[in-house]
């Protein structure tokens, strides 16, 4: 997790592809980067809501809203995140 332009961002490396979503669970603010990753699904460590790290889409209750996701790319060995 890192802070980019006043956003806490959770970054995931899955098969050498980088994905970035807001590191704030839409249910009650849990830190998604501290959750357990299963494939492309991250489970919030607070109450277990699941999100797709590729899209930020919520996949299970108690979250009812998607997490913002950000485009990423690697340029000259530097990871860039579009906020
Ligand atoms: S804060 Fe994430 S599921 Fe409740």
> CB 70: neighbour CB atoms within 10 A?
19
Task: Give the DSSP H or E segment for 79.
Answer: strand 78-82
3-state SS assignment for residue 29? coil
What is this structure's pTM? 0.93
Spatial separation of the C-alpha atoms in residues 17 and 77, rounded to whole Å: 13
CB 7 within 8 A of CB 83: yes
How far is CA 64 from each of CA 25, 43, 45, rounded to the nearest angstrom? 10, 14, 16
Atom of ligand 1 nearest to the CA of 45: 2
Provide the residue range defining the domain that includes 65: 2-82
Q: Would you write out the chain's pLDDT as a tens digit for each of its 83 residues?
A: 788 888 899 999 999 999 999 999 999 999 999 999 999 999 999 999 999 999 999 998 999 999 999 999 999 999 999 98
CATH assignment at residue 53: 2.102.10.10
| Protein residue with its CA nearest to atom 4 in ligand 1 | 47
Ligand 1 centroid, distance to 38 Cα (angstroms):
17
- Give how many domains the chain has, as a whole number: 1
């Amino acid at each position: 997790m890192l802070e980019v332009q006043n956003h806490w961002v959770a970054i995931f490396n899955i098969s050498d592809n980088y994905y970035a979503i807001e590191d704030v669970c839409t249910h009650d603010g849990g830190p998604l980067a501290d959750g357990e990753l299963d494939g492309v699904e991250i489970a919030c460590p607070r109450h277990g809501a699941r999100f797709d790290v590729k899209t930020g889409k919520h996949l299970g209750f108690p979250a009812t809203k998607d997490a913002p996701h950000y485009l990423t790319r690697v340029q000259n060995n530097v990871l860039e995140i579009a906020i």
